[in-house]
């Protein structure tokens, strides 16, 4: 049996990834650059077989080359978690609860990193709070992975920056080092609330950006929309968790910009379909991927009923998607509230 010095044993952690979509696949690709063995849970047996044979995910960012010899892929989630010390959650927030319902092992002693940019709808909580409340994981063992970064650009190995947040900065640094590489640069933060809520809200803003683009609003208006949006995000995160943070940092403003403007943003694409007259159902069917902002805007609006933060952009998107108000009129009303 291989022997390690005590310090090296403490630093040597087995990493598992939960999820089989674009972002999970991108995280696996990043980990493959630094980690010798990665546990990976995905539901689809055909996808598992394809990746083990060809080293590509057939359904998501299939251009991403994966080092299949480093992957231990399984559809048994309990086995993956049992054999991992640090677990990265990368499933849509709407499906997190049902995914973890099948667990028959404890998460309590694990380090959990949320790569989910959404709110658990059954509980109206961010993923970190959900994991803490439901699985008794201490906050010092909960981290958040946030952008600005799209899975598609990771597949293309374009230079990208990521932030890992955890109240225990050493744990954040461990995971940041595990994904860093020649095309991935990382920062660490201790602001798990601000980074996670900001990553949720930027998806809502991206919906608004897409809706406005679909209606024919131009770049001049988009600049005003996004400058108002970062202030809206700041008001909300400062109310939820008031600490000294610089909202202009990449984890906040940068993540907002890439999600609101990028051609790879599924939330912007979903919003653009709504602006062009698609129904919610038809837009979801055509997109074929989860737009987290659709679920998040409802959760944020319900949370804000108690907080009473001024959030005109969020309210406009909620009115369009859930109150079925006129898209054109709602955005016209919104334009009068921005400056």
Cite the active site residues.
Answer: 202
Q: Pseudo-torsion of CA 154, 190, 171, 147, nearest 10°?
A: -10
Q: How many Å apart are CA 220 and CA 218, to the nearest integer? A: 6
Three-state SS for the chain is CCCCCHHHHHHCCCEEEECCCHHHHHHHHHHHCCCCCEEEECCCHHHHHHHHHHCCCCCCCCCCCCCHHHEEEECCHHHHHHCCCEEEECCCHHHHHHHHCCCCCCCCCCEEEECCCCEECCCCEEHHHHHHHHHCCCHHHEEEEECCCCHHHHHCCCCEEEEEEECCHHHHHHHHHHHCECCEEEEEECCHHHHHHHHHHHHHHHHHHHHHHHHCCCHHHHHHHHHHHHHHHHHHHHHHCCCCCCCCCHHHHHHHHHHHHCCCCHHHHHHHHHHCCCCHHHHHHHHCCCCHHHHHHHHHHHHHHHHCCCCHHHHHHHHHHCCCCCHHHHHHHHHCCCC
């Amino acid at each position: 049996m291989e022997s390690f010095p005590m310090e090296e044993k403490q630093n040597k952690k087995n990493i598992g990834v939960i999820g089989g979509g674009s972002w999970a696949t991108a995280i696996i690709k990043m980990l493959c650059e630094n980690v010798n063995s990665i546990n990976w849970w995905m539901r689809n047996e055909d996808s598992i077989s394809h990746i083990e044979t060809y080293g590509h995910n057939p359904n998501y960012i299939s251009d991403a080359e994966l080092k299949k010899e480093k992957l231990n892929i399984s559809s048994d989630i309990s086995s993956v978690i049992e054999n991992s010390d640090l677990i990265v959650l990368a499933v849509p927030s709407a499906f997190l609860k049902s995914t973890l319902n099948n667990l028959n092992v404890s998460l309590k002693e694990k380090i959990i990193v949320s790569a989910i940019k959404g709110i658990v709808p059954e509980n109206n909580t961010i993923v970190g709070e959900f994991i803490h409340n439901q699985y008794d994981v201490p906050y010092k063992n909960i981290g958040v992975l946030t952008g600005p970064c799209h899975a598609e650009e990771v597949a293309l190995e374009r230079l990208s920056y990521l932030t890992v947040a955890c109240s225990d900065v050493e744990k954040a640094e461990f995971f940041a080092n595990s994904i860093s590489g020649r095309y991935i640069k990382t920062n660490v933060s201790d602001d798990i609330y601000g980074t996670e809520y900001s990553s949720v809200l930027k998806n809502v803003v991206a919906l608004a950006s897409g809706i406005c683009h679909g209606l024919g609003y131009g770049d001049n208006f988009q600049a005003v929309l996004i400058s108002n949006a970062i202030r809206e995000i700041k008001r909300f995160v400062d109310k939820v968790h008031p600490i000294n943070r610089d909202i202009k940092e990449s984890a906040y403003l940068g993540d907002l910009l890439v999600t609101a403007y990028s051609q790879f943003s599924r939330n912007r694409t979903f919003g653009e379909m709504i602006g062009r007259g698609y129904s919610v159902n038809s837009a979801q069917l055509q997109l074929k991927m989860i737009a987290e902002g659709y679920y998040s805007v409802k959760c944020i609006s319900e949370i804000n009923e108690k907080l009473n933060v001024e959030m005109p952009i969020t309210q406009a998107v909620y009115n369009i998607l859930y109150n079925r108000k006129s898209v054109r009129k709602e955005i016209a009303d919104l334009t009068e509230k921005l400056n």
